[in-house]
Structure 1
Amino acid sequence: MTSRALILGCAGQTLSAEEAAFFRAVRPWGFILFKRNIGTPDAVRALTGALREAAGRADAPILIDQEGGRVQRMGPPHWPAYPAGRRFGRLNGSAAAMARLGARLMAHDLAAVGINVDCAPVLDVPVEGSHDIIGDRAYATSPASVAEIGRAVAEGLMAGGVLPVMKHIPGHGRAACDSHHGLPVVDASRDSLAAQDFQPFRALADLPLAMSAHVVFTALDPDRPATQSPTVVREIIRGAIGFDGLLMTDDLSMHALTGPFRARAEAAFAAGIDVALHCNGDRAEMEAVAEGAPVLAGPALRRAEAALARLAPAGEAFDVGEARARFEAGLTAAA
Structure 2
Amino acid sequence: MLPAIFGLSGLILTPEEEHLIRGVDPLGFILFARNIESPRQVKLLTNSLKTLTGREDLPILIDQEGGRVARLVPPHWQAWPPALDFAHAYAKCPERGRAAAVCNYQAMALDLVALGISVNCAPVLDVPAIGAHDIIGNRAFGAEPEVVAELGAALLEGFAHAGVVGVIKHIPGHGRALADSHEALPKVTASIDALNRDIAPFKALSHAPMAMTAHIVYDAWDEQQCATLSKRVIDEVIRGQIGFDGLLMTDDLDMKALNGPIPMLGRQALEAGCDVVLNCWGRMSDMRGLAEQLPEAPPACQKRLSDAMTIWRSPPPAAEIAEQQADLVAQRDQLMQSI
Q: Could you say whether these structures have the same fold, taking a TM-score greater than 0.5 normalized by the shorter chain as the test?
A: yes
Residues 137-168 of structure 1, C-alpha deviations (whole Å, 9 max, x = no match): 00110100000000000000010010000000
**TM-superposed deviation, 1:294:** 1.8
Structure 1 position 323 matched with structure 2 position 324: no
Residues 171-224 of structure 1, C-alpha deviations (whole Å, 9 max, x = no match): 010010000010000001122201x11100000001110000000001100110
Counterpart of 1:126 in structure 2 is 128
Structure 1 position 49 matched with structure 2 position 50: no
**TM-superposed deviation, 1:96:** 1.3
Gaps of 5+ in 2: none
Does structure 2 retain, via aligned residues, the 8 Å contact 1:89–1:145? Answer: yes
- The one of 10, 14, 18 equivalent to 1:12 is 10
Q: Which amino acid aligns with 1:159?
A: H
Q: Which amino acid aligns with 1:327?
A: R
Q: Which amino acid aligns with 1:160?
A: A
Counterpart of 1:277 in structure 2 is 278
Structure 1 position 251 matched with structure 2 position 263: no
Distance 1:61 1:230 in 2: 25
TM-score between the two structures when normalised by the length of structure 2: 0.94
Number of residue pairs aligned between Structure 1 and Structure 2: 331
Does structure 2 retain, via aligned residues, the 8 Å contact 1:264–1:289? Answer: no
Q: Which amino acid aligns with 1:26?
A: V
Task: Map 1:212-291 to 2 at 5 A.
Answer: 212-291=213-292
Does structure 1 retain, via aligned residues, the 8 Å contact 2:263–2:290? Answer: yes
Counterpart of 2:210 in structure 1 is 209
Q: Classify the secondary structure of the residue corresponding to 1:182.
A: coil
Does structure 2 retain, via aligned residues, the 8 Å contact 1:134–1:172? Answer: yes
**TM-superposed deviation, 1:319:** 2.7
Does structure 2 retain, via aligned residues, the 8 Å contact 1:276–1:293? Answer: no
Q: Which amino acid aligns with 1:251?
A: D
TM-score between the two structures when normalised by the length of structure 1: 0.95
**TM-superposed deviation, 1:18:** 1.5
Q: 1:95 to 1:313 in 2, by over 3 A?
A: farther
Gaps of 5+ in 1: none
Q: Classify the secondary structure of the residue corresponding to 1:262.
A: helix
Percent identity for Structure 1 against Structure 2: 47
The structure, 1 or 2, with the larger RCO (C-alpha pairs under 8 Å, 6+ apart) is 2
**TM-superposed deviation, 1:313:** 4.8
Task: Map 1:21-100 to 2 at 5 A.
Answer: 21-91=19-89, 92-93=92-93, 94-100=96-102
Distance 1:121 1:89 in 2: 13
Q: Which amino acid aligns with 2:240?
A: G
Distance 2:20 2:336 in 1: 45
**TM-superposed deviation, 1:333:** 5.6
Residues 58-84 of structure 1, C-alpha deviations (whole Å, 9 max, x = no match): 221100001000101001011110011
Distance 2:136 2:246 in 1: 23
**TM-superposed deviation, 1:314:** 7.0
Q: Which amino acid aligns with 2:235?
A: R
Residues 29-76 of structure 1, C-alpha deviations (whole Å, 9 max, x = no match): 110001111111111100001112222322211000010001010010
Q: Classify the secondary structure of the residue corresponding to 2:3.
A: strand
Residues 88-111 of structure 1, C-alpha deviations (whole Å, 9 max, x = no match): 100021321111111100111100
Higher helix fraction (1 or 2): 2
Q: Which amino acid aligns with 2:60?
A: I
Counterpart of 1:164 in structure 2 is 166
Q: Which amino acid aligns with 1:12?
A: G
**TM-superposed deviation, 1:21:** 0.9
**TM-superposed deviation, 1:332:** 5.2
